[in-house]
Amino acid sequence: MNVDAGVHGATALPSSAGTQVRVSHYWPVTLFLVSGVAALIYQVCWQRLLFESVGVDLESVTIIVSTFMFGLGLGALLGGELADRYPQHALHSFALIELITGAFGACSPWLIHATTAATVHSPLVVISAANFGLLLVPTTLMGATLPILVSHVVRVFHNLGVSVGVLYFSNTLGAALGAFATGFVVLYYFGLAATIYIAAGLNVVVSALVWLTLREPRV
């Protein structure tokens, strides 16, 4: 069904059908909020894991923040290129990225510990570079999700500025919720490893919901 036809013919739909159409339009925004929650859980937890190899000081904070900023920027460039080449598969790409991010997240405690063990006697610059390279993989994947989802949502809102703004707001709100919940609740009750697994679970749930939605017949 053509989106424009669905919008202009909304008054002809029963109220329940109209509600279903609106929900199908806006659910990616909600899922992007959940993705933002997971991303900040990772950031807080990975920084704590880096404390073991780099120490509780400026270096560990610098590594995690610079990795996230560089990875998000690089991912945005790659995600934009992917969205331009395969605009009809934006949601498939988003679901796959969330699944891979969740898989990396679930393995990240072991990966970070292994990197620490392999570089424990190395100079600080080597330790920093190794951890930077390791975490660049998931942060690049995270950064790719925004332009990919924009390419989908812009077909709903028919306005690039609104699409970017709504998605960025949703993801940022999720990030704030994730940072608050991790620092004040989840880490306290569940511990570091379990908190990371919760974030990985959120990624997998988001991916599964997207795949299930794609399998449903279009209205």
Q: How far apart are CA 35 and CA 112, in angstroms?
A: 22
More confident residue, 178 or 217: 178
Q: How far apart are CA 145 and CA 217, in angstroms?
A: 24
Domain ranges for the chain: 29-215
What value does the mean pLDDT take over residues 180-197?
94
* pTM for the whole structure: 0.85
Average pLDDT, the chain: 85
Is a pLDDT exceeding 60 seen at residue 219? no
Instruction: State the pLDDT at residue 156.
Output: 76
Q: For residue 12, what is the DSSP state?
A: G
Contact 33, 175 (CB under 8 A): no
Name the token pair of 95.
């679901």
Task: Please tell me which of 17-31, 53-67, 92-106, 150-164 the model is most confident about, judged by mean pLDDT.
Answer: 92-106
The DSSP H or E segment spanning 9 is: none
pLDDT in tens, 117-144: 898 888 888 988 999 999 999 999 999 9
Instruction: State the pLDDT at residue 95.
Output: 96
Name the token pair of 27.
């659910």
CATH of domain 29-215: 1.20.1250.20
Is a pLDDT exceeding 60 seen at residue 24? no
pLDDT in tens, 76-123: 999 999 999 998 899 999 999 999 999 999 999 999 999 988 988 888
Instruction: State the pLDDT at residue 25.
Output: 60
